[in-house]
């Protein structure tokens, strides 16, 4: 686990911070995202793995099994394993306006297998977060655990600079089914993600964050193909 002081700082509630600032540009709060991830992992331990995945999923959430599926459809009625997977976030990226965030970290199973996860989180109308994409892969060795959890927030777009401004709820395409490609972005356009799945179920996930006036790739994850 992370040092107690670090967890307490990062998991602090966002409500008081939000009351002091107007909604929209500049309201990113990585602490709220870490709190959501910690609560998600705790629910998996206490309530059951798939119960937690259902509880924290956005209505349009996608996961890979290994083909892309609509998460709530796949999870509906699925029995929890006797012992859940355990996980811990190591890195966070967040849009300037706080409407979209990404977490990456390590998972481990009771059988000793290890791997990494990447979760994309969308802010809901009430201000809480639900995951819209969850993916990862097994590793031969566990990820190197950092001394401190790192958080990177996108640069805010400059008003009147001529840069595109994104508003409304257009950050994620509404899907009726999970496609072999997917895409989403924050309301302000400062964080974007996309995935592409090949016929052999290999896939690539890319995440871009606005830094120094341009969109910079901060995460690229490739997963080898496997049978359904």
**pTM (2 decimals)?**
0.83
Is residue 197 one of the residues assigned to a domain? no
Q: How confident is the model at residue 15 (pLDDT cuts 50, 70, 90)?
A: very low
Is residue 33 one of the residues assigned to a domain? yes
Q: How confident is the model at residue 18 (pLDDT cuts 50, 70, 90)?
A: very low
Q: Which domain holds residue 150?
A: 4-156
Is residue 228 one of the residues assigned to a domain? no
CA–CA distance, 118 with 103 (Å, rounded to integer): 6
CA–CA distance, 186 with 154 (Å, rounded to integer): 10
We report the CATH number of the domain holding residue 145 as 3.10.450.50
pLDDT at 5 over 80: no
Q: How confident is the model at residue 21 (pLDDT cuts 50, 70, 90)?
A: very low
Angle at 120 between CA 30 and CA 5, to 5 degrees: 30
Asked whether 64 and 203 are in contact (CB, 8 A), the reply is yes
Provide the domain count of the chain.
Answer: 1
Question: pLDDT digits over 105-164, tens only?
Answer: 999 999 999 999 999 999 999 999 999 999 999 999 999 999 999 999 999 987 655 455
Residues 6+ apart with CB under 8 A from 102: 92, 93, 94, 118, 119, 120, 121, 191, 193, 207, 219
Q: How confident is the model at residue 172 (pLDDT cuts 50, 70, 90)?
A: very low
């Amino acid at each position: 686990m992370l040092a107690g002081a670090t967890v307490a700082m990062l998991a602090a509630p966002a409500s008081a911070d939000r009351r002091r600032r107007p909604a929209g540009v500049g309201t990113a709060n990585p602490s709220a995202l870490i709190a959501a991830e910690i609560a998600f992992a705790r629910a998996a331990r206490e309530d059951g793995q798939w119960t937690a995945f259902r509880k924290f999923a956005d209505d349009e959430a996608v996961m890979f099994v290994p083909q892309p599926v609509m998460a709530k459809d796949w999870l509906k009625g699925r029995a929890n394993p006797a012992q859940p997977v355990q996980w811990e976030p190591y890195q966070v990226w967040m849009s300037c306006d706080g409407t979209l965030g990404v977490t990456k970290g390590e998972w481990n199973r009771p059988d000793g297998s290890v791997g990494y996860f990447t979760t994309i989180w969308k802010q809901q109308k009430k201000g809480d977060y639900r995951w819209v994409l969850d993916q990862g892969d097994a590793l031969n060795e566990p990820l190197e655990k950092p001394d401190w959890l790192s958080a990177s927030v996108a640069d805010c777009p400059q008003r009147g600079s001529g840069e595109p401004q994104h508003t409304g709820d257009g950050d994620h395409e509404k899907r009726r089914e999970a496609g072999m490609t997917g895409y989403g972005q924050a309301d302000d356009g400062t964080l974007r993600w996309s995935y592409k799945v090949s016929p052999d179920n290999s896939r690539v996930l890319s995440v871009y964050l606005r830094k120094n006036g341009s969109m910079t790739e901060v995460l690229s994850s490739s997963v080898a193909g496997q049978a359904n």
